[in-house]
Amino acid sequence: MERPEVAGGGAPAPGRGREATRERILTSAKELFTSEGFGSVSSRMIASHAGVNVALINRYFGSKAGLLTEILREDGVFPRLITEGPPELLTRRLAEHIVSRLYGEGTLLQRALDHSAGDPDLQSVYQGRLKTAFIEPLAVYLDRENSRVHASLIAAVMLGMGRVRRIEGGDALRAHDREQLTERVLALLELCLADFGAPDPDDP
Amino acid sequence: MERPEVAGGGAPAPGRGREATRERILTSAKELFTSEGFGSVSSRMIASHAGVNVALINRYFGSKAGLLTEILREDGVFPRLITEGPPELLTRRLAEHIVSRLYGEGTLLQRALDHSAGDPDLQSVYQGRLKTAFIEPLAVYLDRENSRVHASLIAAVMLGMGRVRRIEGGDALRAHDREQLTERVLALLELCLADFGAPDPDDP
DNA sequence: GGTATATGTAAACGGTGTTGACCTGTCAAA
DNA sequence: TTTGACAGGTCAACACCGTTTACATATACC
């Protein structure tokens, strides 16, 4: 009845075995999601590309959405955005990130997810990730009064820019001077962070 | 071979006939989308609720997405937002609309679409509507230099707030003082509209 | 009356994500 | 060496989706 340290099954065989298979699914999925978008890639496509049976996706990741969750978990672009430089340049970092996305820069995977944003599955997975890997860490990072509100506002500006880019291709924004645009976004982000205590300059 | 003025078919019969059926489908779809969300309502559910054959949805609206397009076309909340009051209060109107949505106010249909945002279909339909019924009219309404850029920025803030609300339920934002929040959003919107010519006050 | 035509019906199509029953090969214990 | 347990893999099916096609029905015009 005791569960042995290294469990029952056979030796991995050439390119098989739990870890190898998991990895192949992850790699293929990442590749396909990147080139085709989440919604356009079916479980069967992933399995076939990975040279693996369809059922194994569900066995190892629970569902197609679970597979995406795992991919995003390994990606880690959100936390990096917050902490990859000096705190006083946080807003500038974010502003430049936003604008660069307008120009089609940034991770292939990110672009792909932006592009194919859809499916209740992707929505819920992506949004969950956004909350736990961006908004909440950002609030902690800010570490002051109302930091949750400030973090939410920052997230709103960032997400909104992303959505507008998706809606109208970002043409209108890209047509404008990039540096001016970056400065404007920066100003918006800083306004998001402005203290609520500070009264309107016009007020007594 | 000539197509008669008033075409061939029979008299409408009790509750049937082209217009009656179309209307019943529209009504049922609106009701179900509102209570369940777009993605969770299937064509067959709509048809069954309307007491109508499934195929008629596609006959009359081309597709499930086409049905949503028609519903949104009749809704007209976007254009109203822009023009329903004096121009100098545009930003305040928008700010109050945004914040009210945080509190679960606003059209039932709007809330439902927000809630169930997903499906490539909904995305493309909704975003198309957003572009032609909000961003573009807003740009025309603003009627000044770079109005497309300003309109896009406005849209970004509005959409972003919507997404944040969806992601984290708006709890963090709702926890804050509503009036202060409205004023902050208002400030953000006005910053979106600020002239690009105007130099940074700190600059010479 | 005959027929064209608008309306409604029923059943299927190809696709999706997912699941359960079934092999298969290897190790640990008997 | 035989046996049994079991991880890993396979296959065929399930239930559902949006959509389409072939067919029935009933009216209004000629």
pLDDT tens readout for residues A82-106: 999 999 999 999 999 999 988 877 6
- Lowest mean per-residue pLDDT among A73-87, A102-116, B60-74, B165-179: A102-116
Report pLDDT for B167.
78
CA of A5 to C1' of C13 (A): 50
Q: Which residues 43-102 on chain B approach chain A with CB closer than 8 angstroms?
A: none
Q: What is the spatial distance between Cα A71 and Cα A69, in angstroms, rounded to a whole number?
A: 5
A59 touches strand D (CB under 7 A): yes
Q: What is the spatial distance between Cα A12 and Cα A19, in angstroms, rounded to a whole number?
A: 9
The greatest distance separating any two alpha carbons of chain A, rounded to the nearest whole angstrom, comes to 78
Give the model's confidence band at B11: pLDDT under 50 very low, under 70 low, under 90 confident, else very high: very low
Main-chain dihedrals φ then ψ at residue A41, nearest 5 degrees: -105, 120
Q: Percent of chain A at pLDDT above 70?
A: 81
Residues of B in contact with A166 (CB under 8 A): 127
What tokens does A82 get? 């917050």
Instruction: Tell me, yes or no, if the pTM score tops 0.85.
Output: no
DSSP, collapsed to helix, strand or coil, labels residue B8 as coil
- Lowest mean per-residue pLDDT among B48-62, B107-121, B130-144, B151-165: B107-121
More confident residue, B202 or A43: A43
Give the model's confidence band at A148: pLDDT under 50 very low, under 70 low, under 90 confident, else very high: very high
Mean pLDDT over each residue of chain B, to the nearest integer: 84
Q: What is the spatial distance between Cα B129 and Cα A140, in angstroms, rounded to a whole number?
A: 37
CB atoms within 10 A of CB B75: 17
Q: What is the spatial distance between Cα B176 and Cα A23, in angstroms, rounded to a whole number?
A: 45
Give the model's confidence band at B103: pLDDT under 50 very low, under 70 low, under 90 confident, else very high: confident
For the cut 90, the answer to whether the pLDDT of residue B90 exceeds it is: yes
Q: Do A188 and B184 touch (CB under 8 A)?
A: no
CB B101 within 8 A of CB B165: yes
What tokens does A144 get? 């002051």
* Range B27-44 average pLDDT: 88
Report the candidate in A167, A95, A179 with the shortest Cα–Cα distance to residue B148. A167
B140 touches strand C (CB under 7 A): no
Mean pLDDT over each residue of chain A, to the nearest integer: 84
Q: What is the spatial distance between Cα B147 and Cα B192, in angstroms, rounded to a whole number?
A: 10
Report pLDDT for B1.
32
Q: Is A130 on the interface with B (CB under 8 A)?
A: yes
For the cut 50, the answer to whether the pLDDT of residue A5 exceeds it is: no
Report pLDDT for A121.
73
Q: Which residues 162-201 on chain A approach chain B with CB closer than 8 angstroms?
A: 163-164, 166-168, 172-173, 175-177, 180-181, 183-184, 187-188, 191-192, 194, 196, 200
